[in-house]
């Protein structure tokens, strides 16, 4: 870094995305992408005519996209904010609601970016350990008087929160924002969307990267009360007003409209998740009951890092997170049947080796 960087930013500990090694072709089960291509409607919409109009700025208020999302969820466009991936939405939300005067409460094991935003925005976070079984100690997220950020289902644990527990947390923090990061909600958990009508402090964050097969498009959104959406727009318009490019906007409209394709993809992943969970358990793994598009799994007789490394040597990438309570686990994206077959074959080999 340069000598000009603000001194307090020297200590930043940026997020490390899942590795993308270039040394060989891997079966990538480490970044929770969808194994399915985007909807055929997306492919049809992004035609030469659409690309040919890229000399013009996109609509800075993303009117049609916000209307489309609102319609899908029975809301109005003033309940919807869109961002350059849900990371940007999360980034703006932390910028709007937390700093050195008002902190943030987050679980110790969750999406790693919450801690990074805290650092970036001078927040001293209140970090709450999960229970030993990786469930959330709900009572420790009540009456925080500061931003509360929780992923449901949680990553990397794959566990969903009960609807009643989410409501307890939202109702239990009337004077502060409760950010529910529902990046993985379509794969199993119960959305807290119905709470929106009742709780003006609820901020739901979603992404197109997982269940909508558009990780490459960078599109996330927030669903919340109009006042919260106005806050996020205020930040966005003080940062960059044209945050969603033209083609991603079109892709987001069509992916949301193609409900049958979306459902088929989600069901395909759920079915593969069930098969893979069963197969890994049959091999002696501990696998948590996943409500997401990934498995949180602990191999028999070895720690997570060893398993991760042995898989990588066999061309299969999974995610190992070097946090103390996670050392026996890896996070495995639920990929295509072929990808999961390759994972299971490599795993059987690895376990077989151990028995020699």
Window 80-109: residues binding a second copy (CB under 8 A): 84-85, 87-88, 91, 96-99, 101-102
Whether residue 112 contacts residue 100, with contact meaning beta carbons closer than 8 Å, is answered with no
Q: Tell me if 242 contacts a second copy by CB under 8 A.
A: yes
Q: Say how far apart CA 353 and CA 356 lie, in whole Å.
A: 5
User: Which helix (H) or strand (E) element contains residue 287?
Assistant: strand 286-287
Q: Which of 105, 152, 157, 176 binds a second copy (CB under 8 A)?
A: 176
Gap between the Cα atoms of 286 and 116, Å rounded: 30
Stretch that binds a second copy, among 124-132, 188-196, 243-251, 301-309 (CB under 8 A): 243-251
- Footprint on residues 9-28 left by a second copy (CB under 8 A): 9, 12, 14-17, 20, 28
CB of 196 to a second copy, least distance (A): 14
Are 77 and 224 in contact, with CB atoms under 8 Å apart? no
Decide whether 68 or 246 has the Cβ nearer to a second copy. Answer: 246
108-137 residues in contact with a second copy (CB under 8 A) are: 116-117, 119-120
* One residue of 217, 291, 294, 304 binding a second copy per CB under 8 A: 217
How far apart are CB 330 and a second copy at their closest, in Å? 19
Binding-residue total with a second copy (CB under 8 A):
83
Q: Which is nearer to a second copy, 37 or 197 (CB)?
A: 37
Q: Comparing C-alpha atoms, which of 312, 309, 349, 307 is closest to residue 328?
A: 307
List binders of a second copy among 40-79 (CB under 8 A): 42-43, 46, 48, 51-60
254 binds a second copy (CB under 8 A): no
Q: How far is CA 32 from CA 192, 215, 336, in A?
A: 22, 9, 12
**Smaller CB separation from a second copy, 229 or 346:** 229
Pick the binder of a second copy from 209, 290, 293, 339 (CB under 8 A): 209
Helical segments of the chain, H only: 40-45, 48-52, 63-72, 86-97, 113-120, 163-171, 226-236, 246-257, 259-282, 304-313, 337-354
What three-state secondary structure class fits 139? helix
Cross-strand pairs, 180: 150, 204
Nearer to a second copy, 14 or 315 (CB): 14
Q: Does 6 bind a second copy (CB under 8 A)?
A: yes
Question: Is residue 348 near a second copy by the rule CB under 8 A?
Answer: no
Residues 6+ apart with CB under 8 A from 8: 122
Pick from 244, 266, 295, 321: which binds a second copy (CB under 8 A)? 244
Tell me whether strands 286-287 and 294-298 are parallel, antiparallel or unpaired. Answer: antiparallel
């Amino acid at each position: 870094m340069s000598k000009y960087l603000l001194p307090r930013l020297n200590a930043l500990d940026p997020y490390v995305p899942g590795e993308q090694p270039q040394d060989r072709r891997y079966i990538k089960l480490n970044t929770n992408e969808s194994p399915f291509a985007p909807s055929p409607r997306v492919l049809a919409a992004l035609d030469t005519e659409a690309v040919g109009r890229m000399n013009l700025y996109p609509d800075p208020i993303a009117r049609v996209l916000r209307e489309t999302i609102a319609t899908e969820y029975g809301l109005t466009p003033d309940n919807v904010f869109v961002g350059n991936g849900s990371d940007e939405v999360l980034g703006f939300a932390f910028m709007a609601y937390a700093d050195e005067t008002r902190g943030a409460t987050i679980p110790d094991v969750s999406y790693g970016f919450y801690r990074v935003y805290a650092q970036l925005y001078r927040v001293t976070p209140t970090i709450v350990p999960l229970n030993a079984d990786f469930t959330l100690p709900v009572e420790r997220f009540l009456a925080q008087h500061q931003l509360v950020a929780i992923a449901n289902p949680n990553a990397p644990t794959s566990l969903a929160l009960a609807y009643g527990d989410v409501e307890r947390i939202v109702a239990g923090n009337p004077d502060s924002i409760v950010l529910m990061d529902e990046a993985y909600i379509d794969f199993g958990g119960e959305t807290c969307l119905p709470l929106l009508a009742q709780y003006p402090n609820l901020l739901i964050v979603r992404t197109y990267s997982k269940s909508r097969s558009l990780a490459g498009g960078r599109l996330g959104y927030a669903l919340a009360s109009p006042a919260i959406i106005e806050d996020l727009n205020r930040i966005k318009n003080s940062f960059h007003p044209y945050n969603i490019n033209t083609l991603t906007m079109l892709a987001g409209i069509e992916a949301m409209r193609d409900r049958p394709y979306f459902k088929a993809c989600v069901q395909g992943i759920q079915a593969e998740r069930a098969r893979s969970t069963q197969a890994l358990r049959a091999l002696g793994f501990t696998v948590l009951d996943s409500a997401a598009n990934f498995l949180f799994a602990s191999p028999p007789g070895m720690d997570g890092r060893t398993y991760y490394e042995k898989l990588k040597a066999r061309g299969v990438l999974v995610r190992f997170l070097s946090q103390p309570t996670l050392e026996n686990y890896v996070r495995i994206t639920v990929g295509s049947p072929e990808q999961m077959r390759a994972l299971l074959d490599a795993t059987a080999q690895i376990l077989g080796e151990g028995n020699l």
